[in-house]
Structure 1
């Protein structure tokens, strides 16, 4: 069987806690949840050949987007939070950043941002834990963990984020994986009568009473994997732009201001 290995380019952010899933009962790491296929392409088209090429390497992979690439003769494919380029004949595959020298930016992030926006928009407000000022200027989604040091640091500064006009909407990502104490604690947080206080207690190292209920933790975890999350906290702007791990409040506000200035005016 052919193995499909995504080679990650670039160093891992030093402001994020690395994911280290707990092993399953047989000692192997648990397989990520694979949602239903999101992409359908008309047979005989370059898009269909691109999809077929990816699935030839890994039949189980989830493809979130396939579209014309910024370079002639290729399709751009978003897979598990990464961007790939497949030749229109389905023979060649490229991976890595695509930098537009004239524009001075990485255009490979555009399609990835669109996928993030679409997937995160499907998460109900009732499934999030929200810390927000009365009238926020910006809202960011944050995949968080109760054990991660940088997640705890971010939460310790939650009042300052809010003071600067930034709403924080938390989703759960227990980085030790399912069937771990970390996962169970996040379930207890999301099942608490006061989720905000339970999350604050957990991040402060206080015991959270064990609870169980219908909860979105497993769905959040699968979504994080689908978006290519490799560490927490993962901060995503309303435009679908991923931040490089933890950012201090003032730095995050400055970045969000910059992104707002770059957004097309409607």
Structure 2
């Protein structure tokens, strides 16, 4: 009677060893042939038979079982109508909301402020200005605004003037919504430098970048309707957990 469990355990162990050997073989082949790829962090099987995911940092590639081919692109599940690559990258780039350095942001509250989002923005970013105008239509939110001047030296100057203004919220919205350039001001701007360091660490490469309370990151300007959709997803997840 003990024979079947023993055989099953042996089979499971063999599969595990086989998977490890497969991963090791792919790592070695790709590292030998394309050393410029850098350190391979993970090799995992995918939902598509014979296709393996190769993760390097937050970059995702695909390869065959022997590492003879390397694909840079998106894997789509046509049945479920899901972009599996996008789902994976979203998980890899998610940021723990509770770990955000909120002391280096200023806060904009509308309505009851129950729904929270952190946004990294450059004051010279045209997409950010369009996004800010749309965001005026979203109520009952708290926005943690991180100044993230990555476009030009003028971006750094405007960020300094906003951060050092007596009323940061007014100075920000005057510029982004009403095209009113902030008055020159000076103060300690170490927070802005910390924002840039945080962004580099988490590979925030464009503005605006939104981070919702569930850790989901959204790069690029989205409309008020999409913002509402994201907030609804956060609320749904929170309800499911409780």
Common topology (TM > 0.5): yes
Alignment pair present for 1:70 and 2:46:
yes
* Per-residue deviation, 1:173: 2.5
Change (3 A) 1:260 1:192: same
**More RCO (CA 8 Å, sep 6+):** 1
- Counterpart CA distance in 2 for 1:229 and 1:106 is 21
Asked which structure has the greater CA Rg, the reply is 2
* Per-residue deviation, 1:144: 0.9
Name structure 2 gaps, 5 residues minimum. 1-19
Structure 2 length as normaliser, TM-score? 0.66
User: 1:1-266 to 2 correspondence within 5 Å?
Assistant: 46=23, 49=27, 53=31, 56-57=35-36, 59=38, 66=42, 68-71=44-47, 74-77=52-55, 79=57, 82-85=59-62, 92-118=69-95, 121-133=98-110, 135-161=112-138, 163=139, 165-177=140-152, 180-203=153-176, 204-224=179-199, 229=204, 231-243=206-218, 245-258=220-233, 260-261=235-236, 265-266=240-241
* Per-residue deviation, 1:105: 0.5
CA deviations 1:34-87 (Å, max 9, x no partner) are xxxxxxxxx98938938x84992155x8x8x646353456244154x5433356
Indicate the structure with greater helix content.
2
* Per-residue deviation, 1:107: 1.7
- Work out the number of aligned pairs and report it: 215
Change (3 A) 1:152 1:90: same
- Counterpart CA distance in 2 for 1:45 and 1:127 is 45
Aligned residue for 2:182, secondary structure, equals coil
* Per-residue deviation, 1:233: 1.9
After superposition, the CA RMSD in angstroms is 3.9
Name structure 1 gaps, 5 residues minimum. 1-42
- Counterpart CA distance in 2 for 1:78 and 1:134 is 42
Is the 1:166–1:253 Cα contact (8 Å) retained in structure 2? no
* Per-residue deviation, 1:253: 0.7
Structure 1 length as normaliser, TM-score? 0.61
Change (3 A) 1:124 1:202: same
